[in-house]
Amino acid sequence: MTDDAAPDLRASDADRERVAEILRDALAEGRLDMEEFEERLDATYRARTYGELAPITRDLPAARGVAAPAVSLTKDPAPEGGWADRIVGGDDGGTSTWAVAVMGGFQRKGRWTAPRRFNCFAFWGGGEIDLREANFVDREVVINAVAIMGGVDVIVPPGIEVVVRGIGVMGGFDHREEGEPGDPGAPRVVVTGFAFWGGVGVQRKLPRAEKQRLREERRRQKLERKEARKQLGGASGYHDPLNLHGRSSERYREERGER
């Protein structure tokens, strides 16, 4: 049975999420601008049937130039990427093994491969080491940070164990993210080094894609609540005897003699 053969079949949340994922890919590739993306995403979360979902992605190709079905009637579980896929192993030294910021800054973020040991130095400057979307050469990564009148921020995603062993003199290392156990198979990040009149911070943040997914989920829930209130109002037989919704606030004040 094809999607077109059952346009009135009710769509599931998983079906809507598959369409939303196609839209996110199209936005990243420049096939949709932000306004088109938001319009189609709102339509996706409002859709109740396959017939409503199908037109949303009909003009969007899938990866590698193959036309993507709008939705699938097969309720296969979505593949889940695990930590094992992000630990590449081997003798690879990683995308970058060191960074220096002297009266300036550095960043390591996005899709990069963290080495077994990353050395960085900040003097009158700052650096950011973002591991949320990174791959890892090994199960344990050591970040050796030296901050002299400067700072280094290490950002890790949930599920990673963090150990902080640095020494601070008139400066410090952030230990707040220690003690949280890691997910099975997740890498371990050891933050060490020296801070003098400076600091090394550790933050735990959601990956950007997950934050975007949560924003879209909140938007979907908001639309569903709005639709539910609308249906409840219609079912209750509520009417507006004063036509307050049909008159402007200025007209209403005039009629009350306030102007």
Residue 114 pLDDT more than 80? yes
Residue-level pLDDT at 1: 34
Question: Phi and psi at residue 52, in whole multiples of 5°?
Answer: -80, -30
Residue 118 pLDDT more than 90? yes
Name 204's Cβ contacts closer than 8 Å, sequence gap at least 6. 155, 156, 157, 158, 160, 162, 177, 180
What span, in angstroms and rounded, lies between the C-alpha atoms of 115 and 132? 14
Residue-level pLDDT at 216: 79
What span, in angstroms and rounded, lies between the C-alpha atoms of 218 and 138? 36
The most confident of 5-19, 89-103, 244-258, by mean pLDDT: 89-103
Reported in sequence order, the residue ranges of the chain that DSSP labels E, i.e. its strands, are: 98-102, 105-108, 113-114, 117-123, 126-130, 135-136, 140-148, 151-156, 161-164, 167-169, 172-173, 188-196, 199-204
Residue-level pLDDT at 4: 45
Answer with the residue of higher pLDDT: 139 or 212: 139
Q: What would the pLDDT profile of 3-54 be if each residue is shown by its tens digit?
A: 444 677 877 777 777 888 888 778 777 788 888 888 888 888 888 888 888 8
Q: What would the pLDDT profile of 48-88 be if each residue is shown by its tens digit?
A: 888 888 889 888 875 333 333 444 444 444 344 578 889 88
Mean pLDDT value of segment 129-137: 93
Residue-level pLDDT at 40: 86
Residue-level pLDDT at 63: 36
Domain coordinates of the chain in residue numbers?
1-79, 86-204
Residue-level pLDDT at 161: 94
Residue-level pLDDT at 32: 84
- Alpha helices by DSSP H, 29-87: 34-46, 50-53
